[in-house]
């Protein structure tokens, strides 16, 4: 299952999840949320699907520690298609979004 992306969250949310017969288009990635689970490590390995190169991002339960709220996140990526620089940029953007939810 996959959905198209839109920069505008309201538009993106309104697209819903579409059950598709074909694989997602190029430059896709997998996001799953496990908001009831705290984890230290989570990885998705697709041993049967050798052509699966999409990065996979998993987010877990928010945990408050003092004045800080933490969220575990795991990224599984194939180095043939995803490099560390782009993961760094993604994590910086995610941190900025978490620090500034009003934007």
Which of the residues are catalytic? 79
CB atoms near residue 13 (< 10 Å): 10
Say how far apart CA 6 and CA 14 lie, in whole Å. 10
Q: How far is CA 14 from CA 5, 8, 71, in A?
A: 10, 10, 25
Q: Which tokens is 68 given?
A: 């800080």
Say how far apart CA 24 and CA 47 lie, in whole Å. 18
């Amino acid at each position: 299952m996959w959905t198209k992306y839109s920069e505008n969250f309201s538009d993106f949310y309104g697209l819903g999840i579409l059950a598709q017969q074909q694989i997602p288009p190029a430059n896709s990635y997998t996001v799953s949320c496990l908001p009831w689970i705290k984890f230290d490590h989570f990885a998705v390995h697709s041993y049967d699907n050798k052509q699966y190169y999409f990065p996979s991002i998993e987010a877990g339960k928010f945990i408050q520690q003092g004045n800080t709220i933490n969220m575990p996140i795991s990224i599984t990526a194939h180095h043939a298609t995803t490099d560390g620089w782009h993961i760094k940029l993604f994590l910086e953007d995610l941190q900025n979004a978490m620090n500034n939810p009003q934007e």
